[in-house]
Amino acid sequence: MIDMMNVYSRSQSFNRRALSFSSPRAHRKIWFTRLLRVLIVIVSVVSGVSFFWAIASGYLHVLPSLGQAFQGFGISIFNGSSDDCNVFYGSWVIDDSYPLYNASECPFVEQGFNCLGNGRTEKDYLKWRWKPKNCDIQRFDVQIILEMLRSKRIVFVGDSMSRTQWESLICLLMTGVEDKRSVYEVNGNNITKQIRFLGVRFSSFNFTVEFFRSVFLVQHNWSPKHGPKRVRSALKLDKLDDISDEWINADVLIFNSGQWWVPGKLFGTGCYFEVGNSLKLGMSIATAFRTALHTWASWVETMINTNRTQVFFRTFEPSHWSDQTLRLCNVTHQPLLEAGEREQSQFSDAIMEVVKNMTVPVTVLHITAMSAVRTDAHVGTWSDNPSLSDCSHWCLPGVPDAWNEVVLSYLLANYERPLS
C-alpha cells in the first residue's frame, strides 16, 4: 500500500554530480566584469587616473548586460538553502493535494495519455510530488502563473515527450480559467501525433502555448543524389529544422530531443547523416547527436535574443521497457527505490556538455534522474490502443507536471508581481 512508503529517495550517486545551468565562459566574463568594476573604484579613488577610467568604462559599456543576462540561472529562485539546492536531486513524496487537474476535464489531453479515462483503476501514481532535498519548488498558484504569462508566447520544440509536456502545461493553466471556451487551438486542430504545429491561445490573458514537432531539431530530408540505395533519407546535422524561424520570437523556449536518436528510427528506416554535401555513413549516433546539438547551440547564440527569451533544454526522459524489443512493459504500483542505470543517459550528458560551453544563458532541465524511478507513471496498456503497451510515454496527470512546475519556478524568479 502507498502508506507504507511515503518517500522514495533519489540514488546517492546523483548527489555527487554537479549540475551546470550556464556556460563557465559566461561566468568568467561576469567575474571579470565585477573585478574590473572594483579596480575602477580603487584607481579612481587612489590616483584619479582618468585614462584607465575611460578604457574600463568603455569595456563596461560594451558589455553592460552580462551580469543581468546570467542573473537568476542558479537555484536561488527556490525556497530553502539556495547555495546547496540542486532542484533535480530529491525525492518523490506523497501529497494528497495532487493531482493538480483532471485529464478528463481538459480538452487538450490526448486520449492516449488519459490513463484513468482509459480504464486505469489504481490512482496511487497521481499522489506523488517532487521535493528537492534542500529547498522547495514554489507551490503551483495558477492565478499568479496566469498573470505572469499574460501577453507572452511559450513555445515547446521537440518530440512526443515535448507534446506531452505541452499538454500538461495547458491543463495546469486551464484550472484557473473560468471560461473554458476562451482557451482554444488557434487553427481549430485536434491534438494529433502527426501535426507539426499546435497552438493554444488563452484569450483572457492574451498568451499562447505552442508546440512544434521537430524530433531531431535538425533538417530531415530525402536521400541526396547518387547516394547508396540503403540511404532513403538524411539528417543534415549542420542545418537546423526548416521551421526554426517560427521559434525565434518566443518569450519562453523549451527544447527536447533524444527519443528518436536510436538505430531503429534512423538506420532501420534508411536514415543516415549528412554534413555539408557529404554523407557520413560511418558516423555513430552519439557523434551525430552532439553535432546536431552544436548546430542548435550556434543557432541559439546567433538568432535568439536571450534578454527577451528564456531558453530551456530538457534532458532525456528514461523509458522503462522490460526488454530491448520494446514489447514488455511492466508498470509498477509504486516508484522504484533506486533508478539504477536509467538515471544516466549519453544524450543528457551531451546536452549538459554543449550547454556548458555556450556563450548565452540556457537552463538545462535535468529531469533524467528524477523521472527514472517513476516506473508507476507510464501509459502501459491504458492508452487509446490497449493492445499495445507503452513504457515510454507518461500518463497525464503525472510526471510531466513536475517538469512544468520546475519551469514555472524558474520563470517566477524573474517575474515582478504587480502591486495589489
Task: Assess if residue 166 is contained within a domain.
Answer: yes
Task: Assess if residue 237 is contained within a domain.
Answer: yes
Contact indicator for 312, 254 with CB cutoff of 8 Å: yes
Assign residue 109 the CATH number of its domain: 3.40.50.1110
Task: Assess if residue 345 is contained within a domain.
Answer: yes
Task: Assess if residue 65 is contained within a domain.
Answer: no
Q: Which residues of the chain have pLDDT under 50?
A: 1-22, 24-82
Q: Identify the pLDDT of residue 296.
A: 98
Calpha distance 112→109 (Å, rounded): 8
Contact indicator for 310, 407 with CB cutoff of 8 Å: no
pLDDT tens, position by position, 198-244: 999 999 999 999 999 999 999 999 887 778 999 999 999 999 999 99
Three-class secondary structure of residue 143 per DSSP:
helix
Task: Assess if residue 45 is contained within a domain.
Answer: no
Calpha distance 23→70 (Å, rounded): 9
Q: How many domains, the chain?
A: 1
> Cβ-count burial of 216 within 10 angstroms (0-12 exposed, 13-18 middle, 19+ buried)?
buried
- The string of DSSP codes covering 250-301 is -SEEEEE--TT-SGGGTGGGTEEEEETTEE-TT--HHHHHHHHHHHHHHHHH
Q: Identify the pLDDT of residue 383.
A: 93
CA 134-139-144 angle, to 5 degrees, is 135
Task: Assess if residue 266 is contained within a domain.
Answer: yes
Task: Assess if residue 37 is contained within a domain.
Answer: no
For residue 155, what is the enclosing H or E element? strand 153-158
Task: Assess if residue 370 is contained within a domain.
Answer: yes
Q: Identify the pLDDT of residue 85.
A: 79
Q: Identify the pLDDT of residue 83.
A: 57
Contact indicator for 171, 109 with CB cutoff of 8 Å: yes
Q: Identify the pLDDT of residue 343.
A: 74
pTM of full prediction above 0.85: no
Q: Identify the pLDDT of residue 24.
A: 46
Domain that holds residue 246: 2-22+73-413
